[in-house]
């Protein structure tokens, strides 16, 4: 039997962010500002890496992938939320809800895998500098990057199948501004214990495994940095890793708060999801450009070239 035959619900109603009545215009401006900044900032970083031959290294190759992720991630849920804030329809089709769950967790899984690969890249660069170009050759880098996106797609597919194989035949009000596992599962007309266990285990295992691999990489990195005799060398090594660590904290914080906390708080969940969906992707361009001299120099060159090309 097809998935459509399991449910009589054809659409869901998104209730938005709790306790924000009368603040729709302000929240709309907030969403629009951060989404625009995220799109333009990450697109600029991505194009700068493409246009600058000195940035054609493994580190910046993976940073380019992260910029592409940060361009795509806000576009999964923010457009529908902004339509809702403009006073338009707050409904989302059954298929649209399933699409949000799929793309949200596909990109979320990709992000976890990508941060893990970036940590491994820094580990090889700092702990095995003489073999860095041999280990992180173009073929390996391409395979790792493709693997992050394929792994994310598999992760999202499993979760979407688990959630939407259940029947939805009664309530259809989603207590959030987008469709995600906890709020959608609460509307199912069947026992959700298996789906909850498997889906939360899936999310938890992926996040925990990636976090442990990142922790191992950075433990080795810190031990290697402490062995550097030059204070300038230690400072440069720590500076190289600080931007990545900041991004990891911003990425993992919301995941822990939403999926691993024992009790549900609708307002806190919404606030954390806004941070994760809208604000964090817009901060990564600042984090990486302000902390990296090579990126700042390349950005200036690209901006000068663009300015000259338009005759400004």
Mean pLDDT of the chain: 83
| pTM of the predicted model as reported, rounded to 2 decimal places | 0.86
Please, what's the b/e burial string for 218-232 (b: 16 or more CB within 10 A of its CB; e: otherwise)? beebeeebeeeeeee
**Distance, CA of 72 to CA of 70 (rounded, Å):** 6
In angstroms, how far is CA 259 from the centroid of its own chain?
A: 15
* Domains of the chain, residue spans: 9-309
Q: How confident is the model over 11-27, as a mean pLDDT?
A: 82
Q: Which of 184, 185, 187 is closest to 195 using CA atoms?
A: 185
Look at residue 253 and tell me whether its pLDDT is greater than 60: yes
Of the CA atoms within 13 Å of residue 168, those in its CB half-sphere come to 24
Tell me if residue 13 falls in helix, strand or coil.
Answer: strand
pLDDT score, position 58: 92
On whether the CB atoms of residues 31 and 85 are closer than 8 A, the answer is yes
Q: How confident is the model over 36-62, as a mean pLDDT?
A: 89
Domain 9-309, CATH among 1.10.760.10, 1.20.1070.10, 2.30.30.140, 3.40.50.720: 1.20.1070.10
Q: How confident is the model over 37-43, as a mean pLDDT?
A: 90
């Amino acid at each position: 039997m097809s998935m459509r035959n399991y449910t009589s619900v054809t659409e869901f109603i998104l209730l938005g962010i709790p306790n924000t009545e009368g603040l729709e215009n302000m929240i709309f401006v907030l969403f629009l500002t951060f989404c625009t900044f995220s799109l333009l900032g990450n697109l600029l970083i991505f194009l700068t890496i493409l246009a600058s031959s000195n940035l054609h290294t493994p580190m910046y190759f993976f940073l380019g992938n992260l910029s592409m992720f940060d361009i795509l991630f806000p576009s999964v849920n923010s457009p529908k939320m902004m339509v809702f804030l403009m006073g338009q329809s707050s409904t989302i089709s059954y298929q649209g809800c399933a699409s949000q769950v799929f793309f949200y967790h596909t990109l979320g899984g990709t992000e976890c895998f990508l941060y893990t690969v970036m940590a491994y890249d820094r580990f090889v660069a700092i702990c095995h500098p003489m073999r860095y170009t041999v280990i992180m050759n173009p073929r390996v880098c391409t395979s790792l990057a493709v693997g992050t996106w394929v792994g994310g797609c598999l992760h999202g597919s499993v979760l979407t199948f688990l959630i939407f194989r259940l029947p939805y035949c009664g309530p259809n009000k989603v207590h959030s501004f987008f469709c995600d596992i906890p709020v959608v599962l609460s509307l199912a007309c069947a026992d959700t214990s298996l789906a909850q266990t498997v889906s939360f285990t899936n999310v938890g295992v992926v996040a925990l495994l990636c976090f442990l691999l990142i922790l191992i990489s950075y433990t080795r990195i810190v031990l290697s940095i402490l062995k550097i005799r030059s204070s300038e060398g230690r400072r440069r090594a720590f500076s190289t890793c600080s931007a990545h660590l900041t991004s990891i904290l911003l990425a993992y914080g919301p995941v822990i708060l939403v999926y691993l906390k024992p009790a549900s708080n609708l307002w806190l969940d919404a606030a954390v999801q806004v941070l994760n969906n809208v604000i964090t992707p817009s901060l990564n361009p600042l984090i990486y450009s302000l902390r990296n001299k090579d990126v700042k120099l390349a950005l200036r060159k690209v901006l000068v070239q663009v300015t000259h090309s338009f005759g400004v």
